[in-house]
Chains A and B, each alone.
Chain A
């Protein structure tokens, strides 16, 4: 592998990691606080992408799509948490089955509304084409995706570690009952975190729709990658989502380049290995 192809795959891995981070961060925050494995997260992604695509195409404005996708999915997230999940709070099996059910409903409705052909989000002119970084040219849009993930990651980190709401969320991860006994309505915190997670999945859908394509099955595929991220990084850990996204993104890019026939193996073998050595993930709570 030459230096240039190495760098090329490195950037591919980083931009995929950036996309995964949008999904995994919300996924891991929701799990950490509410102990819900939201298997509808891939559905949030795909529907977010389609909604954003529709708005972006209709208005000819990518940024309106980027606004519409998270708003639509946040509303769906609000409904999912308030109306559906709240009824079965704390019952793990019904919670998982419900999120699987939502995922199926989303998948079928998407197929009905947007059809089965792969669709791509039209990206704005100035993000099209390549950016010459001296010794090679690399797609501008992928730099944009990386930049967005870094911005969102920093914002999430600051909100999570420096604000009182963030401290309440972390306290809720430690001991939900005690947070409630202090006079704080933990249900509102649950709703808020679920909405943030859904919103980020919606953003990911639109951004991913410009990077990959939106197609039936993309929801389960991205969900699988996100699960690998949070298992490797540690369920419930935000820094774990960063580390996990980088590992999965890079393993995927280099796996595809070096051992194309074994790309799933190069991705899931490290995951299995980490599960054996550190069942809670690299940065999971002890």
Chain B
């Protein structure tokens, strides 16, 4: 579904990614781990077509179509739903408006995401539909950011550190909700700093390490058993 091949990307003159290869198959949940500053967000932003960074080499294809170099709105319209780091909900809009702004009809034949379906997955958002997004708790904002991406009827979610700054109990709720999305067959690239949430959710994992390249890949069980990889690449 998403194929990242030999991607090099710069922030200004600083070279951050130096040949990243990664792919996500249809219906698969793939984790991208790595310590702070390794370039995970750079990779997410590159895939989403946001600048900076600047792609200097490599290819990104989605559903077989090259998407690198396209403006972000075209990438979004092709079915990549972004859940950005820091959530970036529209603070001055209500919960309902945040969802309505994003709404885009599903492609023919799909029974797509609707307001009711998003509220079904996140009942908390229904309770708070008329609140301004800036007044939501961190967990509620995260749910809103996910729900907003779902309203675009994406084929795939690109999630950048959804667990950041959330209490363990809230995290448990969100993990279950992501599990539900996975069961429904949505492809997800889940970017996280630590193994925590990714371990139980992901089918496969990659670690982005020093030098802006993938330094480890495999299934979660293998990473869990690999004390050295965890220590060196994740600092656990």
Q: Is the CB of B73 within 8 A of A183?
A: yes
| Count of chain A residues near B, Cβ 8 A | 19
Q: Which one of A178, A180, A186 has the highest number of Cβ atoms from chain B below 10 Å of its Cβ?
A: A178
- Cα–Cα distance between A182 and B97 once the two chains are bound (Å): 14
Does B102 have its Cβ within 8 Å of any Cβ on chain A? yes
Q: Closest A-chain residue to B97, C-beta based?
A: A167
Q: Closest A-chain residue to B77, C-beta based?
A: A183
Q: What are the residues of chain B within 8 A of A86 when measuring CB–CB?
A: none
Q: Is the CB of A285 within 8 A of B92?
A: yes
Contact partner of B92 (CB less than 8 A), chosen from A164, A168, A173, is: A173
Q: What are the residues of chain B within 8 A of A183 when measuring CB–CB?
A: 73-78, 104, 152
Q: Is the CB of A167 within 8 A of B100?
A: yes
Q: Is the CB of A186 within 8 A of B73?
A: yes
Contact partner of A185 (CB less than 8 A), chosen from B73, B78, B101, is: B73
- Cα–Cα distance between A174 and B97 once the two chains are bound (Å): 13
- Cα–Cα distance between A178 and B102 once the two chains are bound (Å): 10
Within 8 A of B (CB), among A161-209: 164, 167-168, 170-171, 173-175, 177-186
- Cα–Cα distance between A168 and B104 once the two chains are bound (Å): 13
Segment at the A interface, from B82-90, B169-177, B200-208: B82-90
Q: Is the CB of A184 within 8 A of B100?
A: no
Tell me how far the C-beta of A204 lies from the nearest C-beta in chain B, rounded to whole angstroms. Answer: 27
Q: What are the residues of chain B within 8 A of A173 when measuring CB–CB?
A: 92
Binary interface encoding of chain A residues 152-167 relative to chain B, with 1 for a CB under 8 A from any of its CBs, else 0: 0000000000001001
Q: Is the CB of A181 within 8 A of B82?
A: yes
| Count of chain B residues near A, Cβ 8 A | 27
- Cα–Cα distance between A114 and B149 once the two chains are bound (Å): 54
Does B131 have its Cβ within 8 Å of any Cβ on chain A? no
Within 8 A of A (CB), among B188-224: none
Tell me how far the C-beta of B228 lies from the nearest C-beta in chain A, rounded to whole angstroms. Answer: 37
Q: Which one of A167, A179, A182, A184 has the highest number of Cβ atoms from chain B below 10 Å of its Cβ?
A: A182
Q: Is the CB of B101 within 8 A of A181?
A: no
Tell me how far the C-beta of B70 lies from the nearest C-beta in chain A, rounded to whole angstroms. Answer: 11
Q: Is the CB of B102 within 8 A of A174?
A: no
Within 8 A of A (CB), among B130-150: 148-149
Given A184-B76, A185-B73; A170-B100 close (CB under 8 Å): no
- Cα–Cα distance between A183 and B49 once the two chains are bound (Å): 11
Given A167-B101, A183-B104; A174-B91 close (CB under 8 Å): yes
Q: What are the residues of chain B within 8 A of A179 when measuring CB–CB?
A: 101
- Cα–Cα distance between A167 and B98 once the two chains are bound (Å): 8
Q: What are the residues of chain B within 8 A of A181 when measuring CB–CB?
A: 48-50, 72-73, 75-76, 82, 84
Q: Which one of A164, A180, A181, A186 has the highest number of Cβ atoms from chain B below 10 Å of its Cβ?
A: A181
Given A168-B101, A171-B101, A183-B76; A178-B88 close (CB under 8 Å): yes
Does B20 have its Cβ within 8 Å of any Cβ on chain A? no
- Cα–Cα distance between A274 and B152 once the two chains are bound (Å): 42
Contact partner of A182 (CB less than 8 A), chosen from B78, B91, B92, B152, is: B152
Q: What are the residues of chain A within 8 A of B82 when measuring CB–CB?
A: 178, 181-182
Q: Is the CB of A171 within 8 A of B93?
A: yes
Q: 7 closest pairs, A vs B, by CB?
A: A183-B76, A183-B77, A171-B90, A174-B90, A181-B82, A180-B72, A178-B88
12 contacts between A and B (CB under 8 A): A167-B97, A171-B97, A174-B92, A175-B90, A178-B84, A180-B72, A181-B82, A182-B76, A182-B148, A183-B75, A183-B77, A183-B152
Known: A171-B97, A177-B72; 11 extra A-B contacts, CB below 8 A, are A167-B100, A170-B92, A170-B97, A171-B98, A174-B90, A174-B91, A178-B84, A180-B71, A180-B73, A180-B76, A182-B102
